[in-house]
Amino acid sequence: MTEQILLEVQEVSRSFGKFQALSNVSLKIQPGQLCALIGPNGAGKTTFYNVVSGRYRPTSGRVFFEGRDITRAPAHRLVGMGLLRSFQITNIFPALTVLENVLVPLVVHHGSSFSCLGAIEKRRNLAEEAEQILSRVGLTGQSHRVVSTLAYGDKRLIEIAIVLARRPRLVLLDEPTAGMNPEETDRMIRLIKDLSERSDTTFFITEHDMKVVFSVAEKIFVLNQGGLLAEGSPEEIRANPHVKRAYLGGSLDAAGL
């Protein structure tokens, strides 16, 4: 392990009874490297994310984050360390305003209590920081709208803003464009690219939409039947015959590539 490795997974396996969901998966992600995890349905992607994010413990193998062994660390501890996961289903507060949704994780991040928000200066500083985060994700001018009144794509942007409020080092983005229309998908692609290029946060996405994957990822890992089938640049993955066979009977083009 070196200082240039942000996340390292070493021969991780995970079984559920007799079912082997992951089998000896190893991979490395460097800081700032925008990576994607793909694979056919049932390949083990969700289980892999659950292991890395602390929701599951591996049956065997080890996981390192910034050189620290996090194999047995619970999810809440990983959040404090800067490893966060954004879920496929939006995890926001629909009855609160957009600004309030971002203020909640900011209060937690800064170690404040809600009573501290009564201090005018403290409240102003947190509100300004929340507004800056909303601007970064393209929600300028939406602060005082109630979240339940927003379009689905905007709700996904709020979820990204909530994650960014914790100043993460690594974010696992689980199906960031699921349920989006083409315009919303294009906006999310641009946002992920921009955040990756302009921030200190590293993004690791899993996504069924191959247009998204091949538009944003610098490196792609392919899972199949619980094992790591391939890894490489988008061009290498697109040309890999083993990957082609794993998708739709041998044609990645059939998946919209």
DSSP string, 95-107: TSBHHHHHHHHHH
107 contact partners, CB below 8 Å, separation of at least 6: 113, 114, 116, 117, 126
Angle between helices 120-136 and 98-109 (to 10 degrees): 110
**Separation of alpha carbons 147 and 93, rounded Å:** 7
Tell me which residues of the chain have a pLDDT lower than 50: 1-2, 116-117, 120, 250-251, 254-255
**Separation of alpha carbons 162 and 165, rounded Å:** 5
Exposure on the CB side of residue 210, measured as CA atoms within 13 A: 18
- Per-residue pLDDT at 88: 57
**Separation of alpha carbons 59 and 17, rounded Å:** 11
Q: What tokens were used for 38?
A: 């793909």
Q: Radius of gyration (Cα) for the chain, nearest Å?
A: 19
- Annotated domain spans of the chain: 1-82+168-257, 92-165
**Separation of alpha carbons 102 and 133, rounded Å:** 8
CA proximity to 18, closest of 254, 236, 226: 226
Residue 56 DSSP one-character state: S
CATH topology of domain 1-82+168-257: Rossmann fold (3.40.50)
Q: Which amino acid is at 257?
A: L
Cβ-contact 187, 138 below 8 angstroms: yes
Q: Which amino acid is at 93?
A: F
- Per-residue pLDDT at 237: 95
Helix residue spans in the chain (DSSP H): 45-52, 75-81, 98-109, 120-136, 152-164, 182-198, 210-216, 234-239, 241-246
Cβ-contact 3, 67 below 8 angstroms: yes
- Per-residue pLDDT at 87: 73
- Per-residue pLDDT at 4: 87
pLDDT digits (tens, 9 = 90+) for 119-169: 545 678 899 999 999 999 999 999 999 999 999 999 999 999 999 999 999
